[in-house]
Amino acid sequence: MSEKSAQKRKYILKKAREVFSEKGFKNVTMKDVVEACDISRGGLYLYFSSTEEIFLAVLSEEPDDDDDEAISKALTGDATAGDMLALFLKEQKKEILRKKSLVLASYEYFAEKNLSAQDNPLRKQFEAGIQIVQTLIENGVRAGEFICADPYGCARNLMYVVEGLKVSAKTIGVNEAAVDRELLYILEGLMPGGN
Amino acid sequence: MSEKSAQKRKYILKKAREVFSEKGFKNVTMKDVVEACDISRGGLYLYFSSTEEIFLAVLSEEPDDDDDEAISKALTGDATAGDMLALFLKEQKKEILRKKSLVLASYEYFAEKNLSAQDNPLRKQFEAGIQIVQTLIENGVRAGEFICADPYGCARNLMYVVEGLKVSAKTIGVNEAAVDRELLYILEGLMPGGN
Amino acid sequence: MSEKSAQKRKYILKKAREVFSEKGFKNVTMKDVVEACDISRGGLYLYFSSTEEIFLAVLSEEPDDDDDEAISKALTGDATAGDMLALFLKEQKKEILRKKSLVLASYEYFAEKNLSAQDNPLRKQFEAGIQIVQTLIENGVRAGEFICADPYGCARNLMYVVEGLKVSAKTIGVNEAAVDRELLYILEGLMPGGN
Amino acid sequence: MSEKSAQKRKYILKKAREVFSEKGFKNVTMKDVVEACDISRGGLYLYFSSTEEIFLAVLSEEPDDDDDEAISKALTGDATAGDMLALFLKEQKKEILRKKSLVLASYEYFAEKNLSAQDNPLRKQFEAGIQIVQTLIENGVRAGEFICADPYGCARNLMYVVEGLKVSAKTIGVNEAAVDRELLYILEGLMPGGN
DNA sequence: CATGAATGAGAGTTCATTCAT
DNA sequence: GATGAATGAACTCTCATTCAT
């Protein structure tokens, strides 16, 4: 039963993720989720008792994580820093362009809460990204692949651009070429013969 | 009457702007606006018939526009490109850090609509920003103040960072020092002795 | 408007009183009141926001107060203590036998709350009754109408019997003859030639 | 199984009694009972199919009945009428002051039903009480212990006071001293040197 | 123009009751 | 017998919107 329950919970979260992707956070009602899942009103309450609870569960669900896996694999292999950075950017690009993403719902949700830096998963993720990029750049500089006087600054710049692209993708529209162009601009700045 | 009407309309928009700043777009009800304005329920309907209508009116209101004015003045004066870029960035910074801004409400609103590029004021504004920055950089390069191989790319980079900072300010928190740091990083990239 | 509002409020309370009389306290829903008043769901909420609020308003409404008026008149006139006690008992009897009374609803309500003696209107009323009866008996004794060694004890006895009759009337049924019989039993105990 | 069943039934009734004592009748849901018993929702329905059914079963359960036993014992022994009346009153007092009693739940329940005198267990119990007291008083008078011109009237008076005390204990609060005082007042009225 | 009472649709939530296991 | 997930009816409460004044 617990098995079945867990599966149903997962099913609900899967459907809810779609709903949040489409409608953001605040616009989603329990009724929306009920209808997306095609279950009864009361049935949903057996698993979750508010949209917030569902949303947080969706967020904390392990994602498909091809990305992290891929990154991990790359990090353990003997890929060059450039390869790895490219890989990282590829994942970011995927996230930026993903149709069904929780980006805006997260913005809505975390903008309302005023979480301290520690409690804010969005921030943690952001800072983790900076850390990764900085390390990759430093490795690349050491290996002679990159030229960069301020790896930390460059990493931050990259991540803010990614952030800007994410939100732009949802609000003003950004196509794949534009994403490539922006990321390439930064990458080229790191290249020995770059601008 | 028309005069009085216009004033009341303005009053409503002023109050509504505050409401949208605080609560985003979707969370705002006609009741919220009515209460913020301390007018009657029916009274509001004489001027606007939905929160969307109010929101669009708020957006299209001419803002205080010290910024644009200042910019214009600078552009007509004999300020250097560097001065003018600094001025532009100062305005951006103000917007990024403004407590009561419509940033998130706009994101919410325009994310829902799928407006074509032409109809999307957010996009127009974004592109106008790029245009301005690009021009300033080009002027600076011509004047020998800046060194930049790709003014358009640099302008885009700058604007995406600004966008990233705006959303970060609302969601994960960004203080003034952090904004300065990010903008400075870009500026230094333009300087003859920069990175 | 305030006039009309006040009238509607009164109207709601009148209807609500009937509902509480019939169904007690806990069984009454906002829907019940809405239906009794034949107003809209939301309309009721303009006046009251919970059944508790309505109930307390019903309780604190001034009653028809023939009783109190009558008593007051008698007290100011030159009625004998016996006449006045008879009058008091007549009012009690009316209350005991009243079809539409809030007795049980009050019991339900105040049993749930654990109000201190001061805050409990039921208790205040009860003690006021004892006080009145005691005074009347003392006056009667002084006037030679009654014989009573313990007016306070007798007053309490009377009021507890009244209380017992009230609840019995609602739960096991008590007819007028039975009420008369019980009250007469006590009265006769006060009479010079009584038991 | 039937043995086990009977035990479970008893267990449910025991727990349900507590629930009804605390929450009255109408406020109790099947869910409340399920939770108090820590059994499954469906499980309860194997034994009872409504709160009413449970409540009636609780009421008809033989109580601990030290009281009745004690009374019976006393009645068969050679106790004096005074001793026996004192015993009876002691039991009433216990009931009046019992924290977990079904008094209010019963009031709620039987007030809703409009049972005929025959079908109303509350009434039967009340009249049985009068009968017992009347007999005791008559025996006491015959034995010269009591003086009473109207044993039936006095018995009724006593029982209504008890009823009044029961309901007062639940609604306006009555402490032990007050109960003693009221009962003593009546007893003294029976005593040769009483009021 | 302006008011605010009134309506009713719709979302949230709780439970009695059923039923597959 | 026993379980507890699931359903759906019923209730609470909030607002967008209308309309008589």
Instruction: Report the range of poorest mean pLDDT among A70-74, A116-120, C143-147, D66-70.
Output: D66-70
Place of tokens 């930049």: B148
pLDDT tens digits for A12-61? 999 999 999 989 999 999 999 999 999 999 999 999 999 999 999 999 88
CA–CA dist C100, C121 (Å, integer): 19
pLDDT tens digits for D44-58? 999 999 999 999 999
Q: Which nucleotides of F are covered by protein (CB under 7 A)?
A: 1-20
* Mean pLDDT (whole number) for B8-31: 94
Contacts of B171 in chain A (CB under 8 A): 106-107, 110-111, 120, 122
> pLDDT-based confidence at B72, cuts 50/70/90?
low
Confidence check: pLDDT of B74 > 80? no
Of B111, B157, B162, the CB nearest to A185: B157
CA–CA dist D124, D140 (Å, integer): 24
Residue B180 tokens, joined: 């300065």
Confidence check: pLDDT of B69 > 70? no
Confidence check: pLDDT of B144 > 60? yes
CA–CA dist C35, B6 (Å, integer): 44
Q: Cβ of C168 under 8 Å from any chain D Cβ?
A: yes
| pTM: predicted TM-score of the whole model, two decimal places | 0.87
Confidence check: pLDDT of A1 > 60? no
CA–CA dist A34, A150 (Å, integer): 51
> pLDDT-based confidence at A5, cuts 50/70/90?
confident
CA dist A92 → A133, B163, B169 (Å): 12, 16, 20
CB neighbourhood size of A148 (10 A): 19
Residues whose CB is less than 8 angstroms from the CB of residue C73 and which lie 6 or more positions away in sequence, other chains included:
none
Of B150, B163, B181, the CB nearest to A164: B163
Residue D62 tokens, joined: 């033989």
Confidence check: pLDDT of C128 > 80? yes
**pLDDT averaged over every residue in chain C:** 90
Q: What dotted CATH number matches C66-190?
A: 1.10.357.10
pLDDT tens digits for A156-167? 999 999 999 999
> pLDDT-based confidence at D61, cuts 50/70/90?
confident
Residues of chain A with pLDDT > 90, as a percent, come to 70
Place of tokens 């009693």: D101
Q: What is the pLDDT at residue C113?
A: 85
CA–CA dist B18, B20 (Å, integer): 5
Confidence check: pLDDT of C76 > 70? no
Confidence check: pLDDT of B142 > 60? yes
* Mean pLDDT (whole number) for A161-177: 95
Confidence check: pLDDT of B155 > 90? yes
> pLDDT-based confidence at A77, cuts 50/70/90?
low
Q: Cβ of A106 under 8 Å from any chain B Cβ?
A: yes
* Mean pLDDT (whole number) for C131-148: 95
**pLDDT averaged over every residue in chain A:** 89
* First vs last C-alpha separation in chain C: 61
Residue B133 tokens, joined: 């920055």
Q: What is the pLDDT at residue B135?
A: 94
CA–CA dist A95, A89 (Å, integer): 10
pLDDT tens digits for D165-177? 999 999 999 999 9
Q: What is the pLDDT at residue A13?
A: 96
Residue B79 φ/ψ, nearest 5 degrees: -70, 155
Q: Cβ of B163 under 8 Å from any chain A Cβ?
A: yes
Secondary structure of residue A77 in the 3-state scheme: coil
A163 within 8 A of B168, measured Cβ to Cβ: yes
CB neighbourhood size of D142 (10 A): 10
Q: Cβ of D186 under 8 Å from any chain C Cβ?
A: yes
Secondary structure of residue A172 in the 3-state scheme: coil
CB neighbourhood size of B62 (10 A): 6
> pLDDT-based confidence at C1, cuts 50/70/90?
low
CA distance, residue A34 to nearest chain B CA (Å): 21
Contacts of B122 in chain A (CB under 8 A): 171-172
What are the sequence ranges of the domains in chain A? 2-60, 66-190
Residue D88 tokens, joined: 């009876």
CA–CA dist C35, A108 (Å, integer): 40
pLDDT tens digits for D145-159? 999 999 999 999 999
Q: What is the pLDDT at residue B115?
A: 81
Q: What dotted CATH number matches D2-60?
A: 1.10.10.60
Q: H or E segment at C30?
A: helix C30-37
Contacts of C164 in chain D (CB under 8 A): 159-165, 167
Confidence check: pLDDT of C65 > 60? no
For chain D, helix, strand, coil in percent to 5 are 75, 0, 25
B105 within 8 A of B32, measured Cβ to Cβ: no
Helices B51-60, B103-112: axis angle to 10 degrees equals: 120
Place of tokens 């290996």: A143
